[in-house]
A and B are shown apart, each in its own frame.
Chain A
């Protein structure tokens, strides 16, 4: 795999002002994305994974949200400091995004062909007829039967799975370098999920598109991703290559997540495990490891200070933020 890094997020902080105070939805997130790589961003609801990605594309509604710090380095520019216009030029062309709910994410009163071709017309300067032809081609590519006729249909005339395919077609039509997929299968039937994931995999492999896959489902991550970042309460608690993570999880939270997966390869009755407690409220977070109330290995220091991100030894780069591992490796 190539080692060219195309996106680097450094210490990203995004906060929201709410009626109850300031919420740091993303509190110091850093990771790196390489060309052709599929990066998984895993976490429960509220862990900050979606906000992180919306922040990359500067799609946070401001007010009440605000990127309060950090850098997002793409192609030599810091997207956090760039102007709205500079970021707009990249959207859809260099970095694309697909969203969770294909029903509400497509415009109900515009034809599908238009929704695909407008990106092509804008970013690649294609004329209307050319763009439409290309759109039909893309529909064929993603497996929509009878694409010439279907191109003139409206979103409500497609099924959920097909709509998500259309979203993917829309996002990949301009051959971006990065595709951000925000829980693309969560709203779909299980039977369709696999198809959609396969589609993303095959299309991105074709053009060496890097993918950031956001999900709470470890099963998805196992099948799709090369590298994984586990998020909790707005921070990344562990980063590792997929095999490393699954076979040797270091952070107690990661271990808890893995243990929660029901297994079919064990015999005999089993108790379904779930991590005790609930994710913390993000208001007024104390200076401590946010996971400590639920952690079986919590120590005194965990309640007093946030653990530093520590690099671990291994065949591929990995880090973990946990006091258990703070002395191992480099602080």
Chain B
């Protein structure tokens, strides 16, 4: 088990390298370099000033060298300075990270809390009619654009200011109740699509599991329906659902960006958007790198959770 973890962690390294390469090199391709934009607002600059500016904006060395230097600094925690505000990038991002993480975690929790029980309940009814209804509802959930849901929420709850954050976000550490109340609707907007997916996967998984021989054995032992479903069936059925939920957190992370914009929440995603509008590429690089890394780590954690929950995998290298 331990070896499995280590092996997976090691396989992450080339991927993360690749991610950093893409993030660095592609950002350099952005037309309208920051230097040019900066110059656009200045009147004139002497040749000496130009050289100095070029050095500051990093345009005086060949790109691969710049990459290595950049990577070196990143690994030491120095993500550079924002071209817009001049402040160090990392602290600003880190201050906004908790909100984005909270949104993502809340939306994942909501998706699971809504999707799994619904999936179980709907698996207990097995006629063609409810079958079709379930499929269509599942597909409908997938078809709803998150930003539209969010907009509709703003519309519907415009008069209930306690439920809609609009630039008046309160941190969790300050007031957890109000914080959760404010983030509930946004998280719902992000997570409802995933809830539909989870509901479908749970239902299909349960239907398959309920056909298994060991369920027949459980019934033959005289266990109550509740025990059979919750203890015997669910534990088996939940495994693919874990995988699906984990791998779709990318969808949640992406959704958080848009939702932060709609609800004017001061999170990482919104910072990234404005950095893009303003060509502030140290910030862009840092945020994209961070989100991609988080996503990769989440996928790894999902794999590990699966391996831990399924005893057939967990006990494979110690088995008799």
* Direct contact between A and B judged by beta carbons closer than 8 A: yes
Chain A residues with a Cβ under 8 A of chain B: 57, 59, 88-93, 96-97, 99, 101, 104-110, 118-119, 122-123, 153-154, 156-157, 167, 170
What chain B residues lie within 8 Å of A108 (beta carbons)?
214, 236, 311-312
Choose from A96, A105, A154 the contact partner of B214 (Cβ within 8 Å): A105
The reply to whether B232 and A122 form a contact with Cβ atoms under 8 Å apart is: no
Beta-carbon contacts of B220-253 to A below 8 Å, as 1s and 0s? 1111100100011001100000000000000000
Choose from B216, B223, B224, B236 the contact partner of A59 (Cβ within 8 Å): B216
B8 CB–A CB distance under 8 Å: no
The reply to whether A170 and B213 form a contact with Cβ atoms under 8 Å apart is: no
Beta-carbon contacts of B185-225 to A below 8 Å, as 1s and 0s? 00000000000000000000000000011101111111110
What chain B residues lie within 8 Å of A88 (beta carbons)?
222, 224
- Nearest CB of chain A from residue B36's CB, rounded to whole Å: 60
What chain B residues lie within 8 Å of A91 (beta carbons)?
219-222
B310 CB–A CB distance under 8 Å: yes
Write the chain A residue with the least CB distance to B126: A63
Bound CA–CA A106/B213 (angstroms): 8
Bound CA–CA A89/B223 (angstroms): 8
Bound CA–CA A57/B218 (angstroms): 13
**With contacts A99-B213, A118-B227, A156-B312 known, is A110 near B219, CB below 8 A?**
no
Write the chain B residue with the least CB distance to A116: B221
Bound CA–CA A88/B227 (angstroms): 12
Chain B residues with a Cβ under 8 A of chain A: 212-214, 216-224, 227, 231-232, 235-236, 309-312, 315, 319-320
The reply to whether A157 and B212 form a contact with Cβ atoms under 8 Å apart is: no
**With contacts A110-B235, A157-B315, A157-B319 known, is A123 near B214, CB below 8 A?**
no
Write the chain A residue with the least CB distance to B316: A156
Query: How many A-B residue contacts, CB cutoff 8 Å?
Result: 81
- Nearest CB of chain B from residue A155's CB, rounded to whole Å: 9
Bound CA–CA A257/B221 (angstroms): 34
What chain B residues lie within 8 Å of A156 (beta carbons)?
311-312, 315, 319
Choose from A93, A104, A157 the contact partner of B213 (Cβ within 8 Å): A104
Max chain B C-beta neighbours (<10 A), residue from A105, A106, A109, A123: A109
Bound CA–CA A154/B309 (angstroms): 12
Give the dominant DSSP class at B's interface: helix
- Nearest CB of chain A from residue B215's CB, rounded to whole Å: 8
The reply to whether A97 and B222 form a contact with Cβ atoms under 8 Å apart is: no
- Nearest CB of chain A from residue B98's CB, rounded to whole Å: 35
What chain A residues lie within 8 Å of B320 (beta carbons)?
153, 157
The reply to whether A154 and B315 form a contact with Cβ atoms under 8 Å apart is: yes
The reply to whether B217 and A105 form a contact with Cβ atoms under 8 Å apart is: yes
What chain A residues lie within 8 Å of B213 (beta carbons)?
99, 101, 104-105
What chain B residues lie within 8 Å of A99 (beta carbons)?
213, 216-217, 220
Bound CA–CA A153/B311 (angstroms): 9
What chain A residues lie within 8 Å of B235 (beta carbons)?
107, 109-110
**With contacts A106-B214, A107-B232 known, is A154 near B312, CB below 8 A?**
yes
- Nearest CB of chain B from residue A123's CB, rounded to whole Å: 7
Max chain A C-beta neighbours (<10 A), residue from B216, B217, B311: B217
Bound CA–CA A59/B309 (angstroms): 30
